């Protein structure tokens, strides 16, 4: 194997977070190498599936809202840079029982950050959006600024922009190991040994194989999303059907309009709560996966319950508290990590890239990252 000392930063994992990180570093003048074990983009991790929700009404914690706002700015900058439409605005609906986290948390975020919003009960929701048939106790926050990102196009656009800025990006080159050196890091793949001053690891479900401290903190979980042919297509059009998150007796579900003729897209948060090894689990879907999603659609969106068009497996990588890890390695400050996005991370990819580049540069003041420190687990 040859030895290469030519990089300032190596980024391991070039999905949503990694592609944005490679671009941000390259645009700041760093000599960057991005490495991914699979195709770029691919269907093996968490960043595929055509579309990912982006929303400001953030029930998980109101402190995410400033990061989402910055994400919007950076996504729009990327659209202008590459001349591609990457974001589709539909508005968002977040609903459930009045005291449930989906509704109450979203309402709290809207009020704290003064986001324009409406509150609808189940009858109002049905009148405004005739596709809905939700439980009577449902309350919903409607917020106009949300929609979805075209995830694979976002990754390809960031990679294109990164390469245009001088980055080297290599797919299908798995990283076997890394180790700290006196002046940085050494990274071994199936083809080369590389060295760099800094290492950023954004490897999604494979984080714990590269940082052992994360083995109990980032747990990959199998998800299945589906696309369905609506019986009343007009009700599920981009113009009439906002992206949604609903808390109902069957669980917490999310969905998208029928975009580009691909069908009404639906998923269930945490699906069957099946923790998996990303290299060894069964990626096939089952009748039970289809049944879970179809039962929800039949109950809450009966006009959407046509034939199943497609089912696809993806992965969440969950932390114990559902919040991200954005931090430097506690033992090796030349190593940074972005991990544990817990099923709600892709919308933040643009700002995570900015944050990771800041960490490489030693800048700690541009963003409030207290919620995402690794120490919250290690010091407990």
CATH 3.30.9.10 residue window(s) in the chain: 92-144+219-318
152-172 in b/e form (b: 16+ CB < 10 A) is bbbbbbbbbbbbebebbbeee
pLDDT at 6: 81
CATH 3.50.50.60 residue window(s) in the chain: 3-47+152-215+321-378
Average pLDDT over residues 50-63: 97
Nearest one of 202, 155, 200 to 39, comparing CA atoms: 155
Residue 306 phi, psi dihedral angles, 5° rounding: -90, -155
3-state secondary structure of 200: strand
Average pLDDT value for the chain = 97
CATH architecture assigned to 92-144+219-318: 2-Layer Sandwich (3.30)
pLDDT at 2: 44
Average pLDDT over residues 44-49: 97
Residue 18 phi, psi dihedral angles, 5° rounding: -70, -40
3-47+152-215+321-378: which CATH number, 3.40.50.1360, 3.40.1180.10, 3.50.50.60, 1.10.10.10? 3.50.50.60
pLDDT at 380: 55
Q: How far apart are the C-alpha atoms of 309 and 298, rounded to whole Å?
A: 16
pLDDT digits (tens, 9 = 90+) for 333-376: 999 999 999 999 999 999 999 999 999 999 999 999 999 999 99
| Radius of gyration over every alpha carbon of the chain, rounded to an integer in angstroms | 21
pLDDT digits (tens, 9 = 90+) for 190-221: 999 999 999 999 999 999 999 999 999 999 99
* Contact assessment for residue 253 and residue 267, using Cβ atoms and an 8 Å cutoff: yes
- β-strand pairing of 308-318 with 219-228: antiparallel
Is-above-0.95 flag for pTM? yes
């Amino acid at each position: 194997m040859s030895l290469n000392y030519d990089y300032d930063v190596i980024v391991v994992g070039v999905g949503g977070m990694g592609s944005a990180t490679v671009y941000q570093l390259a645009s700041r003048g760093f000599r960057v190498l991005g490495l991914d074990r699979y195709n770029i983009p691919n269907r093996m991790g968490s960043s595929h599936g055509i579309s990912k929700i982006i929303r400001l009404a953030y029930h998980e914690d109101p402190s995410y809202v400033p990061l989402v706002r910055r994400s919007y700015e950076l996504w729009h900058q990327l659209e202008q840079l590459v001349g591609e439409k990457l974001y589709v605005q539909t508005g968002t609906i977040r609903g459930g029982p009045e005291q449930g986290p989906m509704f109450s948390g979203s309402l709290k975020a809207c009020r704290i950050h003064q986001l324009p919003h409406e509150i609808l009960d189940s009858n109002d929701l049905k009148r405004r959006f005739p596709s809905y048939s939700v439980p009577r106790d449902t309350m919903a926050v409607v917020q106009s600024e949300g929609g979805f990102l075209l995830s694979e196009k976002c990754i390809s656009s960031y990679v294109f922009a990164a390469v245009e800025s001088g980055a080297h990006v290599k797919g299908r080159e798995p990283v076997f190991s890394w180790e700290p050196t006196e002046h940085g890091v050494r990274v071994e793949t199936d083809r080369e040994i590389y060295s760099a001053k800094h290492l950023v690891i954004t490897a999604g479900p494979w984080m714990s194989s590269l940082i052992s401290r994360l083995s109990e903190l980032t747990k990959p979980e199998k998800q299945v999303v589906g696309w369905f042919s609506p019986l009343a297509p007009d009700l599920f059009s981009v113009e009439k059907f906002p992206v949604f998150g609903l808390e109902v007796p069957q669980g917490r579900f999310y969905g998208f309009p029928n975009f580009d003729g691909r069908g009404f897209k639906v998923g269930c948060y945490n699906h069957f709560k099946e923790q998996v090894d990303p290299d060894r689990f069964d990626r096939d879907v089952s009748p039970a996966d289809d049944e879970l999603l179809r039962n929800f659609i039949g109950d809450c969106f009966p006009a959407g319950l046509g034939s199943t068009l497609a089912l696809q497996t993806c992965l969440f990588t969950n932390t114990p508290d559902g919040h991200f890890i954005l931090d430097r390695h506690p033992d090796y400050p030349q190593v940074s990590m972005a991990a544990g996005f817990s099923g709600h991370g892709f919308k933040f990819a643009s700002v995570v890239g900015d944050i990771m580049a800041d960490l490489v540069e030693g800048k700690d003041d541009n963003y409030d990252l207290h919620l995402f420190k690794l120490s919250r687990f290690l010091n407990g």
